[in-house]
Amino acid sequence: MLGSERRVVITGMGFVTPLGDSPDRIWERIASGQGALRRVEAFPVAGLPNDIVAEIRDFDFLKGYALPKFRKALGKSRKYMARDIQLAVAAAQRAMSDAGLVDGGVDPTRIGIDLGAGLISTDLDELAPAISMASSNTGQFEFPVWGREGIGVIEPIWLLKYLPNMLACHISILMDCQGPSNSITEADASSNLAVAEAARIIARGKADVMVTGGADSKIHPLSMTRMALYDTMSRWDGEPSQGLRPFDARRDGTLPGEGAGILILEELGHALARGARIHGEVLGAGSGCDAVPTGGQDPEGVGTEIAVRAALREAGIKAEDVGHVNAHAAGFRLGDLAEARAFARVFGPKAVPVTGLKGYLGNIASGAGAVELIASLVGVNRGLIPPTLNCDDLDPACEIDVVTGPPRPSGSPVFVNSNVTINGQAAAVVVRGGPVSAEG
């Protein structure tokens, strides 16, 4: 598909999420309805609409994820890495192991990388001493003091820790990916856009293997303050695990999550020739935008509709052949409804099972698309659709068939993974679960 003879299959998955970092573990949590939303532990907050987040509490970058051959290099380079970058590098190692590519075997100039990344918030304590130095004379910030003395007390590598292209750069260096390297920074649509672009790069013959996906952590005092300012944060004051409620009548906002999802995409013939295990196939992708001139997204979800229709067209898949849709479903009053309207127009009202996983995972923002795609893939490869947590009372305005309760048997391994930003930038990817052969 993808307008090319070259088919693009998924031969590796690696992820670090609040639900765990192995397919069995996240599936066990999803199937048993155990979400990860809890009160934040990483740092105290106050004055925000909420303190509920989906954290990865026991993340140990070196002990948990560094492969023996990279441990020494990563021990050094870790100091250049914000948490977002560490999550991505950790997940990428898992993905490369899963794909059987740790020991090379592929021409490095034929491996590329295309990741979704977020606006990475700076560690406040790295700047506090310099800011304090420039402010303590008079209580007002003084530029001349900052210029003379403040700059000198900041770590020289400060900027490098927070550049969004550094997720891809660290991975490309570690794994010798000399093909194309891109970093998509379009908030919650980022990783779906990256997966789409990576698949097209293989389809057009510029690479045989692409490392793709994305990572983000919005569990940061500044990122959470921003969510409060944008008025996107849930005000739920009940049981924390129920705080993010996709398509539910009582939804009123989203909650931050963190994590990384990395996929190894590979040209089918290349994968078959090396006997790789194939998890699924990327069939098509599309994107659209319904940003309205006054700001924000269109309540009718036109951008999502355009994205999904374009993805189905590229995939050559009819709407009725889609087994389920994994929606963005961030828990917004307007955003969830706009998506529901788009799906109802494309597939017909209540015609396709729809799920949204942020009730389990929180909103992983630039990493959300990749992590959610992986969760759906893990599901369909068990013949099941992952259900939606916390949609206890479906909003009657959402004319869609939301999968709730236990996992539902999947009628088709083909699913659409869709994400949209608060500005109406939408991206959809069509994936078919495995097995995949040269014929089918």
Contacts to another protein from residues 40-69, by CB under 8 A: 43-48
Map the footprint of another protein across residues 407-426, applying CB under 8 A. Answer: 421, 423-426
User: Closer CB to another protein, residue 368 or residue 384?
Assistant: 368
Map the footprint of another protein across residues 335-394, applying CB under 8 A. Answer: none
User: Closer CB to another protein, residue 77 or residue 412?
Assistant: 77
User: Min. distance of Cβ 213 from another protein in angstroms?
Assistant: 15
Task: Provide the mask over 146-175, with x wherever binding to another protein is found by CB under 8 A and - wherever it is not.
Answer: xxx--x--xxxxxxx--xxxx-xxx-xx-x
Q: How far apart are CA 213 and CA 123, in angstroms?
A: 24
First to last CA, the chain: 12
Q: How far apart are CA 121 and CA 154, in angstroms?
A: 16
What is the DSSP pairing of strand 401-402 with strand 353-355? parallel
For position 135 contacting another protein by CB under 8 A, the verdict is yes
On whether the CB atoms of residues 283 and 315 are closer than 8 A, the answer is yes
For position 125 contacting another protein by CB under 8 A, the verdict is yes
User: Closer CB to another protein, residue 19 or residue 427?
Assistant: 427
For position 3 contacting another protein by CB under 8 A, the verdict is yes
Amino acid, res. 9? V
**What are the DSSP calls for 150-213, one per residue?**
IGGGS-TTGGGGG-TTHHHHHHHHHHT--S-EEEE--GGGHHHHHHHHHHHHHHTTS-SEEEEE
User: Closer CB to another protein, residue 205 or residue 409?
Assistant: 205
Map the footprint of another protein across residues 248-307, applying CB under 8 A. Answer: 286-293, 295, 302-303, 306
User: Closer CB to another protein, residue 58 or residue 125?
Assistant: 125
User: Closer CB to another protein, residue 175 or residue 338?
Assistant: 175
**What are the DSSP calls for 285-338, one per residue?**
EEEEE---TTSS--TT-HHHHHHHHHHHHHHT--GGG--EEE----S-HHHHHH
Instruction: Please give the helix or strand (H or E) that residue 99 lies within, else none.
Output: helix 83-99
For position 6 contacting another protein by CB under 8 A, the verdict is no
Map the footprint of another protein across residues 166-225, applying CB under 8 A. Answer: 166, 168-170, 172-173, 175-187, 189-190, 193, 197, 200, 203-204, 206, 221-222, 224-225
